[in-house]
Amino acid sequence: MTSVRPKLKPEQFKAITGWETTTGDVIWMRGDGSWTKIAAELGAFAGEAAEEALAAAQADEAHVTGAYFMQVTEDGKIDGRETLRESIRANGPTCHPQFAKGGR
């Protein structure tokens, strides 16, 4: 069970994120449609392109699990209501700094 993410408007910029199926690692889609474990490399999508990117991710379930939209700014910074949750996903647990990730 995962928490319900807020619905985003079509014009808002979004990243596509989920979990790598094999490992469970958090991953983000790059602008070219490939996947990365470094949030700084994520691509920002909007409009129809975002919908197509999410559909492609959801169709690739052997590689990515639970793909969803995450709100970002045009230049790909984490934004919106879920900023704290998504920052922790990107940077690692704040209570275990030794497990820090690449972040954004």
Partner 1 sequence: MYRYDEFDHQMVEDRVAQFRGQVERRLSGEITENQFKPLRLMNGVYLQLHAYMLRICIPYGQMSSRQLHALADVARDYDKGYGHFTTRQNIQFNWVALKDIPDVLAKLAGVEMHANQTSGNCIRNTTSDQFAGAAADEIEDPRPWCEIIRQWSTFHPEFTYLPRKFKIAVTAAGSDRAAIRLHDIGLIMKANAAGETGFEVYVGGGQGRTPHVAPRIRDWVSKADLLSYLEAVMRVYNRCGRRDNKYKARIKILVAETGIETFRDQVEAEFAAQGAEEKVALPQEEIDRIGAYFAPPLFDGEGGAEAFEAAQAEDREFARWCRINLHPHKEEGYRSVTISLKPEGVPPGDATESQMRLVADLARDYSLDDVRVTHEQNLVLPHVGIGNLYTVYLALRSGGLASANAGLITDMICCPGLDYCDLANARSIPLAADIQTAFTDIQEQEDIGELKVKISGCINACGHHHVGHIGILGVDKKGEEYYQITFGGRADEKAQIGEIAGKGLRQDEVPAALKRVVERYRSVRTGKDERFIDAVERLGTDPFKEALYDAD
The residues that touch partner 1, with contacts defined as CB under 8 A, are 1-3, 19, 21-26, 61-62, 65-66, 80-85, 88-89, 92-96, 98-99
Specify the residue, 26 or 56, whose C-beta has the smaller distance to partner 1.
Answer: 26
Give dist(CA 69, CA 65) in Å, integer.
13
Give dist(CA 76, CA 15) in Å, integer.
7
Considering only CA atoms, give the Rg of the chain: 13
Beta carbons of 34 and 95 less than 8 angstroms apart: no
Beta carbons of 89 and 26 less than 8 angstroms apart: yes
- The least CB distance from residue 48 to partner 1, in Å, is 25
Specify the residue, 31 or 63, whose C-beta has the smaller distance to partner 1.
Answer: 63
The tally of CA atoms less than 13 A away on the side-chain side of residue 88 is 7
Specify the residue, 34 or 94, whose C-beta has the smaller distance to partner 1.
Answer: 94
Specify the residue, 26 or 31, whose C-beta has the smaller distance to partner 1.
Answer: 26
